[in-house]
Structures are given as structure tokens and as C-alpha cells.
Amino acid sequence: MGKKHTTEELNESANTYLAKEQVYDAIEAQNRLGVKSYTAYVEADAFIGNPYSLLGRVIMIRKKDGKCPQGIVDNDFISEFAPSPITGILVDKDSKIEQPIKRGSIIVTKDLSAKVGFLNYLSAEFSSNSSFSIMLFDQLTGLVDVQSPTWQNGLNQWILSNAYLLQDPDVCYLYAIIGIVQKNVIRKKYTKLDAKAGGGAYGININGEIHTSNEDYFLDIRFGLTPVIIKSPTFTIQLPKKELADKMEIASEIKGSTLAMIDFSLKHKGALNYSLPNSEELDVFRLIQNIKV
């Protein structure tokens, strides 16, 4: 029967035969993974089949306990899709990558996952004395062609159609997604070796201590979003004056002729067969009337 070794003896042996895996600080880890602290990374499984349909979607963040977040990257606040996207936009064909790009491989500890926003989602996966080995790939990228007139036209139409969100005091942020990067994370969980308890079949050397694993590799998909801010606590985007004036001139003509029709209909309703606008249509006319240039 072979000699039983202590955890200390096994770790000493590991330092001879297994290369040490370095645990990087937060800044270096972000550099190696190609992620940014100011970028929002979201899980959006429904879009895996067609990630480009994220482009033009508008995200809103509402107040929580009467307060707004400091920015769009805050895990304490819920981000949700606005009811309608910006439509008619084009994707810049040159923004797409032809094949996946490997960004890097690192060891992730519980402490590191708390410091790097992109890795926050792993925090709940840690157990006592555990770490993750991860490999990151950029699987797909895309940008809205903001040089095309379709972008400005679509944005202007969205602003006119969603004035109620811009005016809602409980909505802190509205931002449009003009760029995406699909990040594929391949991860494997390791646990610090305890000689008495036994270990897994595969081992790595983290800071001079053996970590082993019996788990399979897992794939996580996260989307990094490039935003254009439409509304924030200190800023609300406005249509160009000429653009708004042109639209308001058309709206005024519609409103004037329609209200004249309503007035005529009320006076002669016994002799006319067409119906009056319903309550929803009247709300639209009131909204046009209340928009300020």
C-alpha cells in the first residue's frame, strides 16, 4: 500500500511538476480578457440565434427606492427593454469579424470576480476554497451604421413616438444599443486539494497550492453593449430644431384639419355617416398639441 501524503507534501510536489497559474489583479485581468469596466455586459439567451437583433434595441433603467444609479453599469438596478426598438437601421458590414478571436485565459477567484464587472455573474457559483479557470473568445461583433441617414431618421422617429418615456420622472436612463460583442466564456471549476478528503482527476497549481476538478467545461454567453445615451439624470436628447420644426409643422396641419373635421362633425352629426376618432386617437392629438419646440 502506497504512502499517504499530507496536503503540504502534495503542494510542495506541485510546485516542482505543475507550472503556477497566476492570479491577476483587476486591471490586468480586464486587459487580458479585452473587457471594459464602463461597458454593460448582459445575459440575453433569447438573442443567441440572432444577436444582431439587439442592435437598435433601447434599454431603460428605472429608479429604485427613489434613487437613480451612478451609470448604466450597476448590478443593483434592473435593466429592461423599452417596448419598441429603433427601426430601419443598417448594420455596418465592416464591423463583423470573420472568425472568433481568443482574448485570453485567466484564473478567477471570488475576490477577483467581485472587482471585475464582467465576472460579477460568477460570484454566486463559488464555494469554499474554489476558483475558476476561464478562456474567453469574442464570437461575434456588430455596429450600427451611424453614418447612414437611416440611423438618424430611426432615432428621431423613436424620440417622437416615445415622448412619454423621456418625460417619465421614474426613468433614469434610456440608451440605444449601437454595438454588440458576443463573449463566449469557457469555464471549469477547481477546488483546493484536501489530502484527507481526496480530490479530482485534473489539477492546477494556484499560488503554490493544488486545485483539482471533476467537473466538465461549461459555456457562458454574455453580450457587451455599446450605448448611445438618449436620457440620463442630467441629459435628455433633443431633436435638431429644424427637424423638430418640420415635423411639428406637419403635425399642426394634421391636428388643425382633424380638429376642424371633429368640430364640423359634432355640428352636423345627424347628416354624416363617418365615425368620430376614438379615445386613443384623441390622446395622440393632445400629445401633438403639448409638444414644445
d(CA 29, CA 106): 7
pLDDT of residue 17: 44
pLDDT per residue over 209-229, tens digit each? 788 888 888 999 999 999 999
Sorted by where each begins, the domain ranges of the chain are: 7-236, 241-290
Among candidates 151, 5, 43, 4, which has minimal Cα distance to 87? 151
- Locate the DSSP E strands across the chain: 20-21, 40-42, 58-62, 79-81, 101-108, 130-143, 171-192, 202-206, 209-213, 218-232, 235-236
Q: Is the pLDDT of residue 140 over 70?
A: yes
pLDDT per residue over 284-293, tens digit each? 545 544 544 3
Write down the number of H helices and E strands in the chain. Answer: 7, 11
DSSP strand pairing (40-42 vs 58-62): unpaired
Q: What is the mean pLDDT of residues 74-86?
A: 94
d(CA 223, CA 37): 14
pLDDT of residue 279: 58
pTM of the predicted model as reported, rounded to 2 decimal places:
0.73
Q: Is the pLDDT of residue 67 over 90?
A: yes
Q: Is the pLDDT of residue 241 over 70?
A: no
Higher model confidence: residue 175 or residue 273? 175
Contact 41, 223 (CB under 8 A): yes
